[in-house]
Structure 1
């Protein structure tokens, strides 16, 4: 799933306004204008992308910055402990799959418990065990780590839509 598609679905599911999107990107350390955000949120086919300049591709770093900003937006700025650096630079390395990062960061931002995530996935139309979800939320390199597929992430975003927008 493309990062732009993830942002489009997340914006719809949680009913985030354009102005808030700009603010969330800013909280994550990415300066974008409202017009640039609209270009990111434009849904186009592959052919239309090649033909138009009204499209801005969201890379993994931008998506992670947005998700970090979303955590700050929903939970407020983190209080730093003495001796702790205030590093807000995205930390995603190539090992962590984008969909895994998406689920982890949304879990933190929305303060979801494992049971909440299982209910959201059920609302999205997929039945998952606690063990399967735990494997997706693990760090890359852990022996039980499992990469989150596009369908799984899509169903999670659909479940968020059902939960937060009262859509059936």
Structure 2
């Protein structure tokens, strides 16, 4: 999945308008314009489409965590230079204050069955012997589970 795909899904799931998207970036001490947001959200075949870079997307996820959980006393975390599905899953889990059981339930409701051990492997350091990369299918089903939970009316469509 691309950063733009995930950004579009999150915007739709939580019905964020442009002002809210700009505010989420601002939460992480980063300024973006309405035009930047608009270009990131366009379809891939649109000529005005602009790819959302890893750093920008990481800033958005950090801002989402701050928006959902509140500002901490410590400084805003540095954005990741390279973002993976594992990092996206971890940051969304943090933003929505989910425990492993909550993540497993969202996945299970979408027909994906993984064990607690498989899930914890996604959150390990990359150099750990039990680390496992999170595949697009798992992240896609997690995002679909978020959508079903936070925007249930769309699940019927």
The question of a shared fold, defined as TM-score above 0.5 by the shorter chain, is answered with yes
Determine if the alignment matches structure 1 residue 71 to structure 2 residue 57.
no
TM-aligned CA deviation for residue 137 of structure 1: 1.3
- Structure 2, unmatched stretches of 5+, are none
Aligned position for 2:40: 40
Q: CA RMSD in A?
A: 1.5
Aligned position for 1:141: 127
Aligned position for 1:83: none
SS at match of 2:127: coil
Could you state the TM-score of these two structures normalised by the residue count of structure 2? 0.90
Residues in 1 aligned to 2:67 and 2:81: alpha-carbon distance in whole angstroms: 23
Point out 4+ residue stretches in structure 1 off by more than 4 angstroms.
none
TM-aligned CA deviation for residue 140 of structure 1: 1.4
Out of 29, 54, 57, which is 1:60 matched to?
54
- Structure 1, unmatched stretches of 5+, are 81-85
Contact persistence 2:106–2:145 (CA under 8 A)? yes
The higher relative CO (CA closer than 8 Å, separation ≥ 6) is in: 1
Residues in 2 aligned to 1:157 and 1:128: alpha-carbon distance in whole angstroms: 16
* Number of residues of Structure 1 aligned to a counterpart in Structure 2: 154
TM-aligned CA deviation for residue 113 of structure 1: 0.7
